[in-house]
Structure 1
Amino acid sequence: MIDLRPFDSLGGANHGWLDAKHHFSFANYYDPKRMNWGSLRVWNDDTIAPRTGFPPHPHSDMEIITYVRKGAITHQDNLGNKGRTTAGDVQVMSAGTGIAHSEYNLEDETTQIFQIWILPTGRGKAPSWGTRPFPKGERSGHFVTLASGFENDGDALPIRTDARVVGATLKAGESAEYPLGKDRHAYLVPAAGAIEIDGIRVNARDGAAISDVETLRVTALEDAEIVLVDAA
């Protein structure tokens, strides 16, 4: 099953410094049919103006993954962590028992990010943060795991949930497969370009909620950059 969610159908709000689009109910946007997809709770498509950003604020009991599509985001938190994550790279914050953080676009250009929240499988663990680069060449033509709750996923950033965040870059005409499993929930968004899944076209920034699929096959209609969450 594939439920296409075109970009124009997403909720959202434009705050001037932040133009936010919500794939799921968030803040003042509420749609009872778009509350979650398995343990995936939030997928926000945020455009952040230069020299602005999210001031310090708290979170707890949530796995928060930031995928930078353009520009860069600078993180700082009350644990003493600070880092800059650039386009194509990923940062992960496990909020655990509680963390306060800020996320600023300190660049002279607009920054665009996907902000992804996944429910953790347990509570009561200490908060943590990490970031790492994922050169796009390593993802060319196939899916690479960016963040994972499974121990056997190599150097992927760890998250405390039964889920993976994977990415791929495909040239027009190329295909890639991902072994999903019929009992899993996948949510896929092209960061750029257009793709096709089982005859359905998915354009840049559209969402595709996928279930009851053993192996997911994606074909690029244009050069494409893809982000996918595989969740319980």
Structure 2
Amino acid sequence: MIELRPFEKLGRFRNDWLNARYHFSFSGYHDPSRVHHGALRVWNDDEIQPNTGFPPHGHESMEIITYVRKGAITHRDSMGNHGRTEAGDVQVMSAGSGVQHSEWNAENEVTELFQLWIIPRIRGGKPNWGARKFPKGDRSGQWVVFASGDGGGDSLPINQDSKVQGATLKAGETLTYDLSAGRYGYLVVADGEVVLNGKTLKTRDAAAITGAETLTLEGVKDAELVLVDTI
């Protein structure tokens, strides 16, 4: 089953430095029909103004994946990690037994990013952070795994039977993905426009998928895609 979730119908939050859309219930936005999708608990679409961001705050027992769409985000945490993740690249923080961190837009332009939270298979454990570059050219017309439960290939490790992956698709090209029975898929178009199994998805639109499904994506405008496959 495929359920479209248009960008304009997502939850909303806005203040002087953050313009956010929520795919799932989060903070002051609550929709009982959109609390999670399998182990995927949060997908926030954030626009962060220059030289602002999330001050130090804590998390525990959550896998937090950040995909930067535009600009860059600077990370600092209580483990001593410090890094800057640019557009198209990914960072992962396993909060484990507890960690404090900040996410700051130190740029002179608006940063746009997706922040995903995945419920871990086991609570607690040692917290961890990592980041990696994923050149868009390497995922032209194919899926590349950004983060996964097995940490295979060049993917960043997460504590769950899940894969966070991406692809780019040119207009006129076709790409497929097989979601197995008992799995949950969540697809967001980071940029561009595609047709998914006959249904049009534009920039920042989403589709919630329950397996088993064969997804067929046709590029209408050059597109950048992010897909979660999880239990």
TM over 0.5: yes
Report the Cα distance in structure 2 between the residues aligned to 1:229 and 1:69, rounded to whole angstroms: 16
Report the Cα distance in structure 2 between the residues aligned to 1:196 and 1:214, rounded to whole angstroms: 15
Gaps of 5+ in 2: none
Kindly provide the amino acid, as one letter, of the partner of residue 224 in structure 1: A
Aligned-residue offset at 1:72: 0.1
Report the Cα distance in structure 2 between the residues aligned to 1:219 and 1:148, rounded to whole angstroms: 25
Kindly provide the amino acid, as one letter, of the partner of residue 155 in structure 2: A
- SS of the aligned residue for 1:187 comes to strand
Gaps of 5+ in 1: none
Aligned-residue offset at 1:217: 1.9
Deviation larger for 8-17 or 90-99: 8-17
Kindly provide the amino acid, as one letter, of the partner of residue 38 in structure 2: G
Report the Cα distance in structure 1 between the residues aligned to 2:78 and 2:203, rounded to whole angstroms: 35
Aligned-residue offset at 1:149: 0.5
Runs of 4+ residues deviating >3 angstroms: none
1:110 aligns with 2:110: yes
Aligned-residue offset at 1:211: 1.2
Counterpart of 2:130?
Answer: 130
Counterpart of 2:99?
Answer: 99
Aligned-residue offset at 1:196: 1.1
TM-score by length of 1: 0.98
Aligned-residue offset at 1:179: 2.7
- SS of the aligned residue for 2:179 comes to coil
1:9 aligns with 2:9: yes
Report the Cα distance in structure 2 between the residues aligned to 1:220 and 1:32, rounded to whole angstroms: 33
Aligned-residue offset at 1:123: 1.6
Aligned-residue offset at 1:221: 1.1
The structure carrying a bigger strand percent of its residues is 2
Aligned-residue offset at 1:212: 2.4
Aligned-residue offset at 1:133: 0.1
Q: How many residues of Structure 1 are paired with residues of Structure 2 in the alignment?
A: 231
Q: How does 1:1-232 map to 2 (within 5 A)?
A: 1-151=1-151, 153-232=152-231
Percent of residue pairs identical:
58
Aligned-residue offset at 1:188: 0.3
8 Å CA contact 1:143–1:177 kept in 2: the answer is no
8 Å CA contact 2:91–2:131 kept in 1: the answer is yes
Q: Provide, for residues 27-67 of structure 1, a one-character-per-residue CA deviation record: whole Å limited to 9, x for no partner.
A: 00000000000000000000000000000000000000000
TM-score by length of 2: 0.98
Kindly provide the amino acid, as one letter, of the partner of residue 95 in structure 2: A
Report the Cα distance in structure 2 between the residues aligned to 1:166 and 1:212, rounded to whole angstroms: 17
